[in-house]
Structure 1
Amino acid sequence: MKIDPESSSDLSAQIANAIRDAIVAGSLLVDQRLPSEAELAEQFKVSRPTVREALKRLAAQSLIRTQRGATGGAFVNRISFEEAYAQQITTSTLLLSMNAVSFSTACEARYALERACATLAAERRTADHLATMRAEIHRQDQPGLTDEAFCASDVAFHRALVDGACNPVLSYQLAGAVEAMQPLMNMITFTARDRARIVALHTRIADAITAKDCEAAQDGLSALETETQDLAASVFARRPGKTP
């Protein structure tokens, strides 16, 4: 593991990247103890506070964990997809909220990915996935449901569809699309949408997943995408100088 002391890049960031690369390459294995702060400071020719900052960066990314005591230290962490969801969601939220991507682009990507999930979900979904989807549809159809509760139910419905694919890699990739982009899309479109129309489309999708009809599920998601894009266009049209 090496760094470039002449580089303008922050030294702690360089050290964190070097250790991360070693973990990714398999040079540092899961549960392996990292050298001590003093040993790392000597290896990289930096101060211990610089090493400490690098380790904090790695811990924030869940790449390492620290333990106290005589047998303590910093250890390579075993990362699960579930643990990585939060970081994926945060990154996606920032990208969309800071306008790094447009609403239209985010919506297009999100539904393209979800249609891919629908194919697998139609084949692999469990009774629990179907029950969650039906429960959320029932919830969405309740009179007096607040906008916030409707949006939360909307997210839960799509989360169940994605998880129904029974593929943790897809669930991770779509965590940002569903858990981050969907709420932000809802915030933009909730004033214009017809809840009955959304519930009808969700029912259409759930019926298709239940019947293991992947083509019908994809068609339902395409109709929902069109509905979402049209709603956003109508909202942005009422905002001078704004475009979706």
Structure 2
Amino acid sequence: MALQYDEIVRGGLARQVSDLIRMAILEGRLALDERLPTEEELARRFGISRPTVREALKVLAAQNLIRSRRGPTGGTFVNRPGAAGAARAITDAATLLVGMGHFNIDEIVTARVETEALCCRLAALNRSDGDLAALASEIALQQDQALSDGDFCGSDVRFHRTVVQATGNGPLQMMMHAMIESFIPITNMLIYRDHERRRTVAAHEQIRAAIGARDADKAEQLMRGHVRGMRVVLDQALARRNAEKPGGESR
């Protein structure tokens, strides 16, 4: 096992241990399914306590980088991170940063415009009949006037997720996971009271048609217009919220 046991400094020991083991896994110095030393052995080699080792291993397990198995052949074993796990980790981090106000609305909207426009272009070139059917299914659901605001927003997320899936590009799908699963729900939460469903459904149908016709230029243009139009509604929603705050201007 290629771990550097002498790289630990005092302070934040559990995090340092988890970081060292994670890097060894990501760099291939720890092989897939390789068994790690016991907690007692890791504590001895790193020169730290077993509770600190246990805390470090919990961090790695939460990141799906290691797994534990009981029994005579049990122990702690290396997992090689997959695309789905990596995407979830990115999404969790992005959601946390959004919640802390690390990204402003301008940044989020600009990121959505540019990345989703690219996805539309690639989706038009690479989509399958199944992708088109999935888009049509969400549009049909969105046309149901009895649909709750929450269910409408959930369908909106799935529509955009399907566009990304239709690109057929694995790295792009992984990178877009945070955009779809974090940024879209945040903006939907802000605008749902001001949401014009008919405009959204019409935009989705036009995008689906352009993707179906493999018209990459038009699909990209339509997605840009769709997200930019959402920005107008978002500005209206934020203005209304500010006016409703104590001390704000009343309508």
TM-score if structure 2 supplies the norm length?
0.91
Give the corresponding residue for 2:140: 138
1:96·1:106 contact (CA, 8 Å) conserved in 2?
no
Give the C-alpha shift of residue 118 in structure 1.
1.7
Counterparts of 2:195 and 2:145, CA distance in 1: 15
Question: Where in structure 2 are the equivalents of 1:191-210 lying within 5 Å?
Answer: 191-210=193-212
Any gaps of 5 or more consecutive residues in structure 1? none
Question: Where in structure 2 are the equivalents of 1:26-65 lying within 5 Å?
Answer: 26-65=28-67
Q: Percent identity?
A: 39
Counterparts of 1:126 and 1:77, CA distance in 2: 32
Give the C-alpha shift of residue 194 in structure 1.
1.2
Secondary structure, counterpart of 1:108 in structure 2: helix
Give the corresponding residue for 1:104: 106
Query: Structure 1 pair 3/108, CA: closer, same or farther in 2 (3 Å)?
Result: farther
Counterparts of 2:58 and 2:213, CA distance in 1: 49
2:123·2:163 contact (CA, 8 Å) conserved in 1?
yes
Give the C-alpha shift of residue 57 in structure 1.
0.7
Query: Structure 1 pair 6/176, CA: closer, same or farther in 2 (3 Å)?
Result: closer
Counterparts of 2:9 and 2:26, CA distance in 1: 25
Query: Structure 1 pair 204/3, CA: closer, same or farther in 2 (3 Å)?
Result: farther
Any gaps of 5 or more consecutive residues in structure 2? 246-251
Does residue 2 in structure 1 map to residue 5 in structure 2? yes
Aligned-residue CA RMSD (Å): 1.6
Give the C-alpha shift of residue 6 in structure 1.
4.1
Counterparts of 2:149 and 2:62, CA distance in 1: 33
Counterparts of 1:94 and 1:13, CA distance in 2: 19
Give the corresponding residue for 2:118: 116
Give the corresponding residue for 1:169: 171
Counterparts of 1:80 and 1:162, CA distance in 2: 18
Q: Deviations over 1:192-226 (max 9, x none)?
A: 12111111110111011101111111111111111
- Pairs aligned (count): 241
